[in-house]
Amino acid sequence: MNLQHGFHFELPDWLITTISEGPQSSLSDEQQMALVIELSRKNIGQGGGPFAALVINRADMSIVGAGVNLVTSRNLSCAHAEIVAISMAQQNLDCYRLSDKGDFQLVTSCEPCAMCFGAIPWSGVNRLLCGASKQHAEAIGFDEGPKLDSWISALEMRGIEVETGILEAEAAAVLAEYAQTTGLLY
């Protein structure tokens, strides 16, 4: 077959619009998570998975990268929200290791799957905030993959602070809505 030499990866217009309509800096942890939850809910309406993430510069609590799950629309199994947000942050900052540019946190609507967990140490973020848990994702049939039971301490041992359960009920509610309306699992 003729192999493609590359591809263009584009965020959805509605995601950029949503972010541009609100404050983009001085956001508290809860405000960041509330925005992530809003993005995850909007992504369902656009045919995507119920997951979103942001990368935040902790110096001024500003958004430097955003992502939603784009697996089906972009035909990329790796385009989970966390991978997209990390990649966009690294493109925005021209840097493959964010810790070289300051102090950054990843805010995700749901506990990372096995792949995204493995990606976090390479990204250079120093802090991880999670909304819903693996139990919420698995309760509606999503597969989190083969991940260490001790994933939180494994990140902490690498100097990455982890906080779970931020606006957990609101984040879990989006997963439940997805199960009731769309239900495509991948």
Q: Which residues contact its own copies by CB under 8 A?
A: 1, 3-11, 13, 16, 19, 62-66, 71-72, 74-78, 83, 86-88, 90-97, 113-119, 121-124, 143, 145-148, 151, 154-155, 157-158, 186
Please indicate whether residue 82 is annotated as part of the active site. yes
Distance CA 101, CA 16 (A): 23
Q: How many CB atoms lie within 10 A of CB 53?
A: 32
Q: Of the candidates 55, 62, 56, 52, which has an alpha carbon nearest to the alpha carbon of residue 23?
A: 62
Question: CB-wise, 67 or 131, nearer to its own copies?
Answer: 67
Question: CB-wise, 151 or 178, nearer to its own copies?
Answer: 151
Q: Cβ of residue 169: shortest distance to its own copies, in angstroms?
A: 27
Residue 50 has what DSSP assignment? Answer: S
Question: CB-wise, 83 or 170, nearer to its own copies?
Answer: 83
Distance CA 85, CA 64 (A): 9
Q: Cβ of residue 179: shortest distance to its own copies, in angstroms?
A: 19
Residue 164 has what DSSP assignment? Answer: -
Residue 129 corresponds to which tokens in the numbers above?
């905030």
Q: How far is CA 28 from CA 24, 49, 107, 124, 157, in A?
A: 11, 25, 11, 21, 25
From the candidates 30, 38, 82, 168, give the one annotated as an active-site residue.
Answer: 82
Q: Cβ of residue 155: shortest distance to its own copies, in angstroms?
A: 8
Q: Cβ of residue 58: shortest distance to its own copies, in angstroms?
A: 14
Question: CB-wise, 37 or 113, nearer to its own copies?
Answer: 113
Residues labelled catalytic: 82
